[in-house]
Structures are given as structure tokens and as C-alpha cells.
Chains A and B, each alone.
Chain A
């Protein structure tokens, strides 16, 4: 079901004073779900907000649903749904009141009552926005993004701070939107969210896309698998490395937690365990793992996501 890209960003640059927030970023998002991953300050929100028409690029070009978000904003806005990272609601408004209001701004809105039930907002009752829980506020913002039956939804960290149940409800909604032909661009800190939802992932760091592909492609990207084990702290990693094939690597991630990467095959496993036996180490919780997005991210950026 691939057609024209929903978002096309070319050589985007955005500076705030002498700080460069986005530094020559290229991003093509096809129909479906695209996750933008990156550490804090990587330029995710700036990029998304330029796509939403909030600010003009310093250079480069942005096209959303074939439109220029600033010059053709009036034509674009009815076709997109936006969930901001926080806020966006009158502090004295009730959840259903605000959602009904946003619905009234659209020509063919969703059934508001069904959406309220779907996202568990019915329990908010007559409570005003400022007294809703963080999770309720998040779900209301999500509902406001989809109620106008948009073609494309921008979700800026949609599940940050949600409990697991609310998180799953959000994921299910994004999946249903996808099935019904609504595309989603979401930023997230959570690797599992990207792995669960995204057709495509773009990893952003210091204002550039440093890797992109399907979650599977990215995890295979390094082609290397990982062997992990725990033992006593401060083992002689250099000695272990000598026993391993030349293209392997071994590190002590945190005291007592070791990671061996390279071509992980039965031979390598045997080498590690026999080295452990020679050194009187019980390799506790030994495991062979496929690369996770988290590993890919860490390798690429040298940073933890959060």
C-alpha cells in the first residue's frame, strides 16, 4: 500500500541563536507508522513542529501531504491531527467538552462518545483539565489529534509517563488507525514502542538522521549478535578478548555485567564458557540475544535514550 510519501524533509536546518537544533536533516516518511527516535535535544520536536507548520526552516524544504506546512497551512491543517507533548487544553475545560469542541472544528468528526469510551475518558466526568491525572491528560490530547478524521497524525511522545494499560490502549489505537489508512509520525523515547508500532524507524541525533529502516533492518544492521553474562565484577576482559576470535569485542557494561559481541556461534559460546571455567567464574544468566533497537541506538549515538 505504498504510495507518495506523507512527509518529505530535505536538508532541513533550524537554528535558535547560535545553537543548531536541526542540522541538515533528511527524512522521508511513507504511509504507515514512522517512529522518530532520539535522545533529548536531538531535534525531534523541532523537526515535527516544522512539519506541523509552527516554524519556518532556516534552510531546506519540508513537504507534508504534498503541501508546504507554512505557506499552505490553511489547506494542510484540516488534514492532520496533532498531539503536543503537553498541554493544549483550557485549564477550566472538561475532557468531553474540549474533545467535542475540537470535533466541531471539523467537517466529519469521529463519534465523540465512542472515542471517549475507547480511550477510557468517560471516568473523567465533570473534572476540569487541570485536575485530571497525567495519563488522562495524555489520552485526551491523543483523542483531540484523531477526532477530526485526519490522514496523518503527529504524536509527540504519546505514551511518556503512561501506565502499561494506558500505553497498550494507545498502541492499539495507533494500530487501528494504520489499518484504516491513517499514517502516523511519532516521536518516542521507548524502543519497545518503536519496535511494536513502527513500519519505519528514523534515529536522530544532534539534528541529523543517523540511521533508518524497518526495526528488523536496523537490528540486523550491525549483523552481530550479542552474548551476555553476569559474573563477579572486574574480570580480566583483556584476557577474555585474547581467547576470542579477532573480530569480537568484550566489555563490562556495569560491574559484573558483561557483553561479548561478534559472530556469536556455538564455538564462541564454548570459548566463553571454557574461559570462565579456567578463571573460576560461574557465568550466571548467560544469554545469546538478537540485537535490540536499544543496542543499535547505543552503538550509533553512544548515548542512553533516557
Chain B
């Protein structure tokens, strides 16, 4: 333990690494931590894939006219975005805050916005992996998507922004344990009441108009309009997601506590 180091080995030579290198290193580490965490994988990969396969092959939920997978795939993609950008990010960030990781990184050369950029990159990388996996499964079940890929991309990006804002708001204000419980509860409630696998048409009219304003409902409805029905750009749903993104990210920027 007491290996002497040659004199001068510790002579100061301070300096920050170039910003892109710092952000890339941070994004790689964040992604590794996420993929190493079993509970997170359950949430982000296993549950969406299972729902797609289960409800696509067994006639349990009413998927309306046409192939079940055409109804289910857009909802499950929306769920995948929520599971990573909201639930996973909230829980991980909540515990990083609790264990002083955010505090320690705050005095490193990596600026705070750099850390947030890396977190976003890590969320996006995870989402790409999820979408590839779910798309392959859906295609193997005979999925035939329609519509403008650009509209889909826009929905996914705005959905990610909206859910990230809400997830970070939760992680930065609540205790880690409370975040863990609340993020899982919200995931479950939105899974049922957000038009993911159960069409909002099944709910009473009054409930529908409220539920329709939820970010998960806007995302799954927008994706379904485009991918299942070949609609153009779903402006209303994009508007709802943009509203949540501004609200969530704004509140997170204002109220997020690093310690």
C-alpha cells in the first residue's frame, strides 16, 4: 500500500479535458450504469417488450380494428420513452443526488449543463436501443407502420423532453426513496390510463378529456395517428408535449437541488 512514487509525480498540472471529451465520457458512464442496473432494465426493456408480445399474441385487450400489433406498437414505443426519460432517469438521478454523485461532479471540470447534456445523450442512446429492439419484435409480429418518419421523430424528441423535465423535477426535489416510489407509481398509472395498451375510448368522456392532456396520452395518441393511421403531423399532440416540456424543464431548472 505504501508504494513510493518518484518525486515530482504529483507536481500540479491542472486543466479541464476538452468539453466534447468530458461530455462523451460522462454519457458513456451514465449509460453503463443504467444498463448494469437490473431493475432499470426490467422497466425499460423487459416490460415494454413483454407487453408487446403478450397483448399482441393473446387477445386480452381490445385493440380495435386491424392487426393488434399496429395498435400496440405505437403505445409501447411511447411507454419505452416514458420508462427511460421519466421513470429510469428520475430514479437514477434521485439516488445520484442522495449519494453525493451530483455534488462531487459539481466540483469537477465538467460544467453542470455538460452533465445534463450527457444525461440526455445517455437517455437518447438507451431509447435508440429500445426502439430498435421493439421495432424488430413488432416487425416479426407483422407490424406495418405508415406515416412520416419525421413526424415520428419529432414526437419522440418532444416526448423525451417532456418526460425528462418531469423526471428531473421529481429527482431534484424529492427524497430518493420517495422518487423511487412515486416514479414507479406514476409509471403504472400512466401505463393503464395513458392510452398505452388500453384505448382512451374505454374511459368516460369527462375522464377522456383530462387523460388526453397527459404527456403519455399525447405521445401514444400522436404515434398511433401517424404510425397506424398514416396521419400527417399531429400538431395538437405535439403542442401538448411541448407544453409539458416547457413546464417540466422550466420547473426542474428552477427547483432542482443538487444536494
- Residues of A with C-beta under 8 A to B18: 107
A-facing mask of B98-109, CB < 8 A → 1, else 0?
011101101111
Q: A33: shortest Cβ distance to chain B, in Å? A: 13
Chain B interface, DSSP helix/strand/loop, else mixed: loop
Q: Which residue of A lies closest to B30 (CB)?
A: A90
A-facing mask of B104-136, CB < 8 A → 1, else 0?
101111110000000000000000000000000
In the complex, A57→B131 CA distance in Å? 48
**A180 an interface residue at 8 Å Cβ cutoff?**
yes
Quick check: B15 and A120 within 8 Å, CB to CB? no
Q: A197: shortest Cβ distance to chain B, in Å? A: 15
Q: Which of A177-192 contact B (CB under 8 A)?
A: 177, 179-182
- Residues of A with C-beta under 8 A to B15: 78, 106-108
**B192 an interface residue at 8 Å Cβ cutoff?**
no
Q: B4: shortest Cβ distance to chain A, in Å? A: 8
Quick check: A92 and B99 within 8 Å, CB to CB? no
Quick check: B29 and A93 within 8 Å, CB to CB? yes
Quick check: A82 and B104 within 8 Å, CB to CB? yes
**A265 an interface residue at 8 Å Cβ cutoff?**
no
**A251 an interface residue at 8 Å Cβ cutoff?**
no
**B206 an interface residue at 8 Å Cβ cutoff?**
no
Interface size of B by CB at 8 A reads: 40
Quick check: A54 and B10 within 8 Å, CB to CB? no
Quick check: A181 and B21 within 8 Å, CB to CB? no
**A80 an interface residue at 8 Å Cβ cutoff?**
yes
B-facing mask of A47-73, CB < 8 A → 1, else 0?
000001110000000000000000000
**B37 an interface residue at 8 Å Cβ cutoff?**
yes
**B7 an interface residue at 8 Å Cβ cutoff?**
yes
Quick check: A77 and B107 within 8 Å, CB to CB? yes
Chain-B contact segment, one of A111-119, A216-224, A297-305 = A111-119
Quick check: A92 and B11 within 8 Å, CB to CB? no
**B254 an interface residue at 8 Å Cβ cutoff?**
no
- Residues of B with C-beta under 8 A to A101: 25-26, 29
**A165 an interface residue at 8 Å Cβ cutoff?**
yes
Quick check: B99 and A149 within 8 Å, CB to CB? no
Known: A54-B106, A118-B3, A119-B1. A87 touches B11 (CB 8 A): no
Q: B121: shortest Cβ distance to chain A, in Å? A: 15
Quick check: B109 and A77 within 8 Å, CB to CB? yes
B-facing mask of A70-91, CB < 8 A → 1, else 0?
0000100111101010111111
**B204 an interface residue at 8 Å Cβ cutoff?**
no
- Residues of B with C-beta under 8 A to A114: 3, 5, 9
A-facing mask of B123-164, CB < 8 A → 1, else 0?
000000000000000000000000000000000000000000
- Residues of B with C-beta under 8 A to A90: 29, 33, 96, 99, 101
Q: Which of B1-52 contact A (CB under 8 A)?
A: 1-5, 7-18, 21-22, 25-26, 29, 32-33, 36-37
Quick check: B109 and A105 within 8 Å, CB to CB? yes
Q: Which residue of B lies closest to A130 (CB)?
A: B99
Quick check: A104 and B14 within 8 Å, CB to CB? no
CB < 8 Å neighbour of A52 from B7, B33, B99, B107: B107
CB < 8 Å neighbour of A176 from B10, B16, B33, B99: B10
Known: A52-B107, A105-B17, A105-B109. A84 touches B100 (CB 8 A): yes
In the complex, A299→B7 CA distance in Å? 40
Quick check: B1 and A102 within 8 Å, CB to CB? no
Chain-B contact segment, one of A14-22, A166-174, A199-207 = A166-174
- Residues of A with C-beta under 8 A to B100: 84, 86-88
Q: A124: shortest Cβ distance to chain B, in Å? A: 13
Q: B145: shortest Cβ distance to chain A, in Å? A: 36
In the complex, A90→B96 CA distance in Å? 6
6 sampled A-B residue pairs with Cβ under 8 A: A54-B107, A79-B12, A82-B104, A84-B103, A87-B100, A149-B10
* Given A88-B104, A172-B2, 13 new contacts (CB under 8 A): A84-B100, A87-B101, A90-B101, A97-B32, A106-B109, A108-B14, A108-B15, A149-B10, A149-B12, A176-B4, A179-B7, A180-B8, A180-B11
- Nearest 7 A-B pairs (CB), nearest first? A87-B100, A107-B15, A88-B104, A120-B1, A180-B10, A104-B25, A78-B16
